Structure 1
Amino acid sequence: VPDYSKIIKNARENRKLSQKDLAFKINEKESVIHRLETESMSPSYTLAKKLEKALEIKIIDKISEVEIPKLDTDSKNLTIGDIIKIKKK
Structure 2
Amino acid sequence: MKSEQCEACGQIIKGRSKTVRIEGSTPMKVCDRCARLGTEVQVQTGPRGTPGRMTPGGSPSAPPRRKRDVFDFIEGDIVEDYADRIREARLERGISQKELALEIKEKEHLIRKIENGDLTPEDAVRKKIEAALEIRLIDSDGIVAEGTGTEKTQTTLGDVIRVKRK
Instruction: Please indicate the TM-score interval, normalised by the length of the shorter structure.
Output: 0.5 to 0.7
Which structure has the highest strand share of the two? 2
| TM-score where L is the length of structure 2 | 0.37
Aligned residues: 64
Q: Per the alignment, do residues 63 and 44 of structure 1 end up closer, same or farther by CA in structure 2, a change over 3 Å counting?
A: farther
- Show CA shifts across 1:26-68 (max 9, x none): 000000010001011000111111010000000022577xxxx
Of structures 1 and 2, the one scoring higher in RCO (CA 8 A, sep 6+) is 1
| Identity across matched positions, percent | 44
Structure number with bigger Rg? 2
1:32 and 1:20 mapped to 2: Cα distance? 10
The one-letter code of the counterpart of 1:10 is E
Instruction: After superposition, give the CA deviation of every residue in 1:65-86 in whole Å (9 maximum; x if it has no partner).
Output: xxxxxxxxxxxxxxxxxxxxxx
- Structure 2 distance, partners of 1:44, 1:62, is 18
- Secondary structure of the corresponding residue to residue 42 of structure 1: coil
8 Å CA contact 1:5, 1:39 repeated in 2 = yes
- The amino acid that maps onto 1:57 is I
1:52 maps to 130
User: 1:33 pairs with 99, 111, 115, which one?
Assistant: 111
| Distance (whole Å) between structure 2 residues aligned to residue 6 and residue 63 of structure 1 | 20
- Whole-Å separation in 1 of the counterparts to 2:141 and 2:106: 26
What SS is found at the alignment partner of 1:54? Answer: helix
More helix by share: 1
List gaps (5 residues or longer) in structure 2.
1-78, 143-166
Alignment counterpart, residue 6 of structure 1, candidates 71, 84, 92? 84
TM-score by length of 1: 0.68
| Equivalence map 1:66-85=2 (5 Å) | none
Report if aligned partners of 1:48, 1:60 keep a CA contact under 8 Å in 2. no
